[in-house]
Amino acid sequence: MQSPLRLGLTLMLLCAVAAGLLAFTNAQTATIIAENEQAKLEASLKELLPEAERFETTEEDGKVFYQGFNGDKQVGVVAVFEQKGFGGFMTLMLGVNNESKITGFRVLAHSETPGLGARITEDSFMSQFEGKSTDDSLQVGKDIQAISGATISTRSVAGGIKLMAGEIEKRFMAQEETTVDLALVPDGEYQGEAEGFAGNVKVTVKVSGGKITEITAAAPDETPEIGGPALPTLIKRVIESQDLDVDAVSGATFTSEGFKQALKNALAQFATGGAPDPVDLSQVPDGTYKGTAEGFAGDITVEVTVEGGKITDLKYQVPDETPDIGGVAVKQMAEKVKSEQRLDVDVVSGATFSSQGFLDALQAALR
C-alpha cells in the first residue's frame, strides 16, 4: 500500500505535467487561432466593401470602425457594434459605402430564439438592407419585412442598423448636418412624427420668442414600461437645454431617437445646413430690432437700431450675469460692435459664455 505522502507527490507531479502540456498546447495554438480569426474578419470586411484594398481601424465607445481605402481614397466604412435583441446582446457588422448606401450586414454573434429570432442570420432577411440609403427609415412593415413571430428581433436589428448607419454618415462621410436656429422660428405650434421602436412617435411643439415653451408627445405603440416613461424625460431635457439633440434615455434608445427625429421633422422647414449665414448690416432695413440668447447665467436681451446700414444705438439687458465679469464683458462687446460696426468681434477673455450670448442675441435680433 502506498503512503499518503507518496500518493500526494504523485498527484502533484501529474497535475504539473498536465498544466505544462496545456500551456504548451495553448502557446502553439494561440497564434494559429488569432490568425484564423483575423482572416475571418478580413474576409467579412472585404465581403461588405469589396472595393477596399486596406482598412484603418478606429475604436470608440465599444464600437469598432474600419475605414476602407482604395489607394488614398475612402470607399466606405464597416462598423462592428453590439445591439440588444430579444434574447440578449448580438454583435452586428454593417457596411456603408461612400454613396451612403448600405452594402450589407452580418450577424457575428447572437442568442436569439432558434427558428424565430435566429432567422436574422438568413440571407432572405439580411439582403433586405442592401442598397438602402442611410436616409431611409428602415421601418419594419414598410421598408423591411418582419420575421414572423420575431418582431422584437427584427425591430432591434433594423433600429440598430439605422442608428449605426447614421453614425457612420455623421462621422466619416463629411455630410453637412442640418440645424434649426430657434431664434428664426416664428411663434406657433408645429407637428412632426418619426419611427420609434414599435411604431411612430408624434410630437407637437410650441415656440414663442425663439424658445420651445411646450412639447407634447404620443407614442401609443412603444413599450409602456420603457419607451413610454422616456418621453417626459426627453421633453424636460429639450425644454431645459433648448437643444433638439439631447442625450437619449438609457435603455430606450430607439424611442429617444424617434422623439428627437419627430421634433426635427416638426421644425424641418426652418432647418439650415450648418451654421446660419452671418448678418450683412448693409442689407438690414432701417429699424429697431430685439433679440434674446442664452448667456452664462441666464438670457441676454439686446435692442439694436439700424439706420443706413449702420448700428446707431445698442441697448442690452443682462440681469442674471455676474456684474463684474459678464456684465463688464457685455458692455465691452457692445462698445466694440458700435465702434467697429461689426457683428463678429472677439469675445472677452474670461467671459466667453456671456460674450457669445451677447453676439448670439445680436444676430438673432438682426435676422
**Rounded-to-integer distance, Cα 154 and Cα 254, Å:** 13
Q: Would you state the pLDDT for residue 28?
A: 60
**Residue range 178-273 in CATH 3.40.50.10950:** no
CA distances from 257 to 64, 73, 203, 246 (A): 21, 32, 13, 10
Type of residue numbered 80: V
Backbone CA torsion sign across 252, 253, 255, 259: positive
**Residue range 281-366 in CATH 3.90.1010.20:** yes
Query: Which residue intervals of the chain are DSSP H helices?
Result: 4-48, 123-126, 151-172, 227-241, 253-266, 328-340, 352-366
Return per-residue pLDDT of the chain as tens, 367 residues: 456 667 767 777 777 777 766 766 666 665 665 666 667 888 889 999 999 999 999 888 788 999 999 988 899 999 999 988 899 999 999 999 998 899 999 999 999 999 999 999 999 999 999 999 888 878 888 889 999 999 889 989 998 898 898 889 888 886 555 678 887 788 889 998 888 877 788 999 999 888 999 999 988 887 777 778 889 999 999 999 888 888 888 878 888 888 998 898 888 877 765 555 567 888 888 989 988 887 877 888 999 999 998 999 999 998 888 888 888 988 998 999 999 998 888 888 778 778 888 888 888 888 7
Q: Fold match between 178-273 and 281-366?
A: yes
What is the C-alpha radius of gyration for the chain, rounded to an integer number of angstroms? 29
Domain extent listing, the chain:
1-48, 54-172, 178-273, 281-366
φ, ψ of residue 140 to 5 degrees: the values are -70, 130
Q: Would you state the pLDDT for residue 303?
A: 93
Type of residue numbered 13: L
CA distances from 59 to 54, 67, 248, 264 (A): 17, 11, 21, 29
**Beta-bridge partner residues of 70:** 73
